[in-house]
Chains A and B, each alone.
Chain A
């Protein structure tokens, strides 16, 4: 009797442990930037179904979102991400420099390891009461522009570089670009801390006539605040912001998830994933799908950071580090 009970208990414990073992499935952690939350929710659902179909195995994807460089710092300091999906190459370069991701990470996946990209455009209030059509309209007196502080957000750095480059794209010099950017920031009533913060200030607090932000934010705004509250304005030129991805070698070596992590990132290049990106107004790298959604991605003259700034890390040094160009433009009153 006593023995029987003990055996039963032991069996139960073993069964429990075994079931736990069987149920233990691979979990990947995708550490990403702030405004990609909704996009990766859809991607993950599609990938999990796809993975089950092709390998017969279950997989689980956890998401973590915050400011892009805050996320990069967290991963660098020990957050066990299997993959990072960021919105500026600087953030992945930082991880590569510290040996957390491969040194040649841009060569590990197609199109410079950037399955998607985005660009900066303007959101204006419904009907465009101030008639804002292009960059020059933003520096007119009486126009208020909401942007992110380049010191605290990647979104803000992109907006700054897009404004600077728009002058260069028209054949202007760096001096003219500096003058333009200085004028632009004189029209800024509030510097937001991050991308979502800027959207909130523009839409919920009703401040400003134009918001400079990522193209993909248009969809989010329509979802959150209802369609028709804002119009998207495509300026004549803007900057390409690639969304780089990389496997975190440090973590996958420890967890043995290298194959799954690679499969996950490769999935981002499939037609299915590229379509999902297009639906979130994130530009797919696949030209055919980009063309298919031409109504979302209106033609716009795009330039890269390499065109006018050398690279993003070069731009970071010259423009945004302390004592850099941004500080000079802002401190001189």
Chain B
């Protein structure tokens, strides 16, 4: 059994004055910026009958696109959990010349127009690009297929993992690790039992944000994907394709499905995080 936190209950003295006012403002702002635009999207799909809706969102091409979008985003987010953690670790723990520059570089995918990322990656990875031309003789093709999509998604979602893990690593008390070493723990045991539980919630948050960002990505992917139906078409491209046919309702139907899946996934990850926090809170 863990010991319940024993913070003494204070009289409801809040830092911000006028709680009702600020809550009201928050709800209004969220409604205007997020809720109303999204409900407009859902309303537009209501112009379809149930059969039309189903035909629009469940055709083989569209289902293949969902699988690709969520699958590639999952792979990209997982890759970034490992390598983003590594980048954050190096940036926090080791001094080296040019560290400030490297640190700033992590944010580049944030700020860069995604189309620029797409063009740059394609130029690099196409069969006549710097990297692509080295791999082409071995039959490895990175651009214009699913590999290209995953690479583009890894690129644009990297900062999310690094930037959520970095501050937690910085705040970690060195004494804990020293104590672990004094008690005879190996490096691996220290990582597993001391470091990892501390950064796990941040890592999970970073993963969720990277995943969400990748699911919504359009600009960089269309340049590198090859955009073949059933093979390398991401869902946002399906939406654009439907708009090109002036099929507004069909496009919003697919968009609504995306919205729903993303929302459910984010809720799941939130719940997972809450569980993780409770667990690690109980341990310390």
Residues of A participating in the B interface, judged by any CB pair closer than 8 Å: 67, 69-70, 72-73, 94, 149, 151-153, 188-193, 197, 204-207, 316, 320-323, 327, 330-331, 333
Report the separation of the CA atoms of residues A126 and B223 in the bound assembly, to the nearest whole angstrom. Answer: 25
Report the separation of the CA atoms of residues A73 and B245 in the bound assembly, to the nearest whole angstrom. Answer: 10
Shortest CB distance A144–B (Å): 11
By the criterion CB–CB under 8 Å, are B128 and A206 in contact?
Answer: yes
**CB-nearest residue of chain A relative to B119?**
A200
New contact pairs (9) apart from A69-B246, A152-B237, CB-CB < 8 Å: A67-B244, A73-B246, A188-B228, A191-B226, A320-B245, A321-B245, A322-B250, A330-B229, A331-B61
B127 interfacial contact with A, CB 8 Å: yes
Report the separation of the CA atoms of residues A149 and B234 in the bound assembly, to the nearest whole angstrom. Answer: 14
B212 interfacial contact with A, CB 8 Å: no
Report the separation of the CA atoms of residues A70 and B240 in the bound assembly, to the nearest whole angstrom. Answer: 9
Contacts of A72 in B (CB 8 A): 246
Report the separation of the CA atoms of residues A23 and B250 in the bound assembly, to the nearest whole angstrom. Answer: 47
Report the separation of the CA atoms of residues A190 and B61 in the bound assembly, to the nearest whole angstrom. Answer: 17
Shortest CB distance B48–A (Å): 13
**CB-nearest residue of chain A relative to B229?**
A330
Contacts of B240 in A (CB 8 A): 152
**CB-nearest residue of chain A relative to B143?**
A205
Q: List 28 A-B contacts (CB under 8 A).
A: A70-B244, A73-B246, A149-B229, A151-B244, A151-B245, A152-B237, A153-B244, A188-B228, A189-B144, A191-B229, A192-B227, A193-B237, A197-B223, A205-B123, A205-B126, A205-B127, A206-B128, A207-B144, A322-B56, A322-B242, A322-B245, A322-B247, A322-B250, A323-B55, A323-B59, A327-B61, A327-B229, A331-B60
Shortest CB distance B249–A (Å): 12
B272 interfacial contact with A, CB 8 Å: no
Contacts of B227 in A (CB 8 A): 149, 152, 190-193
Report the separation of the CA atoms of residues A193 and B55 in the bound assembly, to the nearest whole angstrom. Answer: 24
Report the separation of the CA atoms of residues A67 and B241 in the bound assembly, to the nearest whole angstrom. Answer: 12
Contacts of B264 in A (CB 8 A): none
In chain B between 222 and 259, which residues have their CB closer than 8 angstroms to a CB of chain A?
Answer: 222-223, 226-230, 237, 240-247, 250
Contacts of A70 in B (CB 8 A): 243-244
Report the separation of the CA atoms of residues A193 and B122 in the bound assembly, to the nearest whole angstrom. Answer: 14
By the criterion CB–CB under 8 Å, are B128 and A149 in contact?
Answer: no
Shortest CB distance A278–B (Å): 30
Report the separation of the CA atoms of residues A188 and B250 in the bound assembly, to the nearest whole angstrom. Answer: 27
Shortest CB distance A168–B (Å): 23
Contacts of B247 in A (CB 8 A): 321-322
Contacts of B226 in A (CB 8 A): 189-191
Contact of A206 among B127, B230, B243 (CB under 8 A): B127
Shortest CB distance B76–A (Å): 21
Given contacts A152-B227, A322-B59, A327-B61, contact A206 B126 (CB under 8 A): yes
By the criterion CB–CB under 8 Å, are B244 and A152 in contact?
Answer: yes
Report the separation of the CA atoms of residues A73 and B244 in the bound assembly, to the nearest whole angstrom. Answer: 9
Report the separation of the CA atoms of residues A316 and B230 in the bound assembly, to the nearest whole angstrom. Answer: 21
**CB-nearest residue of chain A relative to B245?**
A321
Given contacts A151-B229, A192-B227, A330-B229, contact A316 B128 (CB under 8 A): no
Report the separation of the CA atoms of residues A331 and B229 in the bound assembly, to the nearest whole angstrom. Answer: 8
Contacts of A188 in B (CB 8 A): 228
Contacts of A321 in B (CB 8 A): 245, 247
Report the separation of the CA atoms of residues A323 and B242 in the bound assembly, to the nearest whole angstrom. Answer: 12
**CB-nearest residue of chain B relative to A72?**
B246
Contacts of A327 in B (CB 8 A): 59, 61, 229
By the criterion CB–CB under 8 Å, are B243 and A207 in contact?
Answer: no
Report the separation of the CA atoms of residues A132 and B228 in the bound assembly, to the nearest whole angstrom. Answer: 24
B98-133 toward A: CB 8 Å interface, digit per residue (1/0)?
Answer: 000000000000000000000000110011110000
